[in-house]
Amino acid sequence: MGKKKVYFGFALASGMFRGDCEISRRILTSEETKEIISKGVVSCLNRYHEATVEAMRSRGIDVKIPEIPPTVCLNEGDAVLVMGVMGLPRLTGDRHHYTEEEISKAEFEFVLYSVK
């Protein structure tokens, strides 16, 4: 059996899972998230979310944006670490970055979804 993968992204989609499976969901602290990332994750981020990635990095969590995001297909033992952000406004028009004040008011949540 191959090495189990941990993906990192901003969303969860039904198509990430193959067939019938049981999934566990666990909310992580920032420290737990950093520890998992330090062991290596497959980044699913894309350049269109650069402002959110910058906000995440300002909180001390750094995941690279790959040139081409991978297709996620979770098998038994694999997991996806999802970052959700509440409180950041939508960026519209010529605005492409969040202010430090906006980032400080936002709430970041990290959830690990694992396939049993």
pLDDT exceeds cutoff 80 at 110: yes
Q: Is residue 1 part of a domain?
A: no
* Residue 51 included in any domain: yes
Domain extent, residue 25, equals 6-115
Q: Residue 114: which residues within 8 A CB-CB, separation 6 or more?
A: 23, 24, 26, 77, 78, 79
* 24: CATH: 3.40.50.11170
Given this model, what pLDDT does residue 2 score? 60
Task: Measure the CA–CA gap between 75 and 81, rounded to whole angstroms.
Answer: 14
Within-domain flag for 86: yes
CB–CB of 41/28 below 8 Å?
no
Per-residue DSSP letter, 54 = H
Provide the number of structural domains found in the chain.
1
Query: What tens digit of pLDDT does each residue of 45-91 get?
Result: 998 888 889 999 998 999 999 999 999 999 999 999 999 999 988 88
How far is 20 from 74, CA to CA, in rounded Å?
Answer: 12
